[in-house]
Amino acid sequence: MDATGRPSVLLLEDDPQLGPLIVELLADDVVVSLAADGEEGLRRALTGTWDALVVDRGLPTRNGIEVIAAVRAAGIATPILILTALGAVDDRVEGLDAGADDYLVKPFDARELAARLRALTRTYAAQPAERTFGAWSFQPGTRLAVSDYGERVSLSPRECALLEVLVDAPGRVFTRAELIDAVFSPDDQPGIVDTYVHYLRRKLGRSNIRTVHGTGYQLGDGT
């Protein structure tokens, strides 16, 4: 935040007209710094202090998906909004699974971008407390799980959301329908829950999520 309370945002946008236009249109609400390619943007994202990142998907030198994944792999939890001209569900999911918190499809209204940034920065400021399960500690705001042995695992937004639901109710058995309602979209295929449970088990160990046959899943004890 600057002295007036405006969020400090790094914008990664290579369009020589759109980038400066966004900076100008958001000036009343946000202090925007502009990076014109993926390498520069990643360097500044890793070394600066930002309230949010706005990342265009189609950047030169390193695309937006790669930038977002690298930021998350570095353990940086700063909210990220991805700008994309690709509106297909698969394209949006790819951006979110890389670590973006939100997306906006071009063309867009600057007022909506400003509103989404305000929402993201509010959410980030109110990060939930650390959770523990088995040999792991888990901070939803950073999407990092750290084991008692020092192993660090970066989670995608959906992996993080699914784990958070399970950790917050350790004795409860969740049906697949309940997990779809809590984490996913009604448009997703029913098997998506099993897919993301598989992802979490691969990263955290199979014993941390227990299958209750004929019902669904619950948090395991790690043994």
Look at 216 and 144; give whichever has higher pLDDT.
216
Look at the alpha carbons of 109, 127, 32, 80 in this order and tell me if their dihedral is positive or negative. negative
Same-domain check for residues 33 and 99: yes
Residue-wise pLDDT tens digits, 143-186: 788 888 888 888 888 898 899 899 988 889 999 999 999 988 87
CATH code, domain carrying 183 = 1.10.10.10
**Given the structure tokens 């409860």, which residue do they identify?**
172
- Do 115 and 101 share a structural domain? yes
Residue 80 maps to a domain: yes
The pLDDT value given to residue 41: 96
| Element housing 167 (H / E) | helix 157-167
Does some domain include residue 1?
no
Residues 102 and 168 grouped into a single domain: no
Task: State the Cα angle at 89 between 159 and 202, rounded to 5°.
Answer: 25
d(CA 196, CA 191): 9
Q: Backbone phi, then psi, for 214, in 5-degree steps?
A: 85, -5
Is 118 found in the same domain as 201?
Answer: no
Which of 82, 85, 47, 58 lies closest to 68, judged by CA?
Answer: 82
Of 83, 105, 125, the residue at which a domain comes to its end is 125
Residue 192 lies in a domain: yes
Query: Which tokens sit at 205?
Result: 């160990």
pLDDT digits (tens, 9 = 90+) for 181-204: 998 887 788 799 999 999 999 999
Q: Is residue 3 part of a domain?
A: no
| pLDDT on residue 157 | 83
Q: Which CATH number does the domain housing residue 22 bear?
A: 3.40.50.2300
- Buried b / exposed e along 147-186 (16+ C-beta atoms within 10 A): eeeeeebbbbbbbbbbbbbbbeeeeeebebeebbeebbee
- In angstroms, rounded to a whole number, what is the distance separating the alpha carbons of residues 129 and 123? 13
pLDDT tens by residue, 91-143: 888 888 889 999 898 888 988 998 888 888 876 655 566 788 889 988 776 67
Q: If you ran DSSP here, which 8-state letter would residue 6 be given?
A: P
Which of 79, 109, 125 is a domain's end point?
Answer: 125
pLDDT of residue 1: 56
Q: Which of 86, 108, 125 is the last residue of a domain?
A: 125
Closest to 180 in 3D by CA, of 171, 167, 189, 170: 189
Same domain, 75 and 99: yes
Do 95 and 144 reside in the same domain of the chain?
no
User: What is the torsional sign of CA 194, 102, 119, 70?
Assistant: positive
Torsion-angle region of 130 (φ positive above 0: left; ψ -120 to 50: alpha; else: beta): beta
Q: Quote the CA–CA distance of 173 and 217 in Å, as a whole number.
A: 6
Tell whether 30 and 112 lie within a shared domain: yes
DSSP-assigned beta bridge partners for residue 131 = 138
Say whether both 119 and 139 belong to one domain: no
114 shares its domain with 191: no
In a domain, 50, yes or no: yes
pLDDT, mean of residues 77-90: 85
Lowest mean pLDDT among 6-10, 13-17, 36-40, 218-222: 218-222
More confident residue, 189 or 53: 53
Q: What is the pTM of this model?
A: 0.58
Q: What is the per-residue pLDDT for 7? A: 81
Distance CA 156, CA 148 (A): 21
- Structurally, the chain folds into a number of domains equal to 2
| pLDDT of the residue at 145 | 87
- Nearest-Å Rg of the Cα atoms of the chain is 18
- Classify residue 177: in a domain, yes or no: yes
Range of the domain at 204: 131-219
Is residue 31 domain-shared with residue 84, that is, in the same domain? yes
Is the pLDDT assigned to residue 4 strictly greater than 70?
Answer: no
Please tell me whether residues 140 and 112 are part of one structural domain.
Answer: no
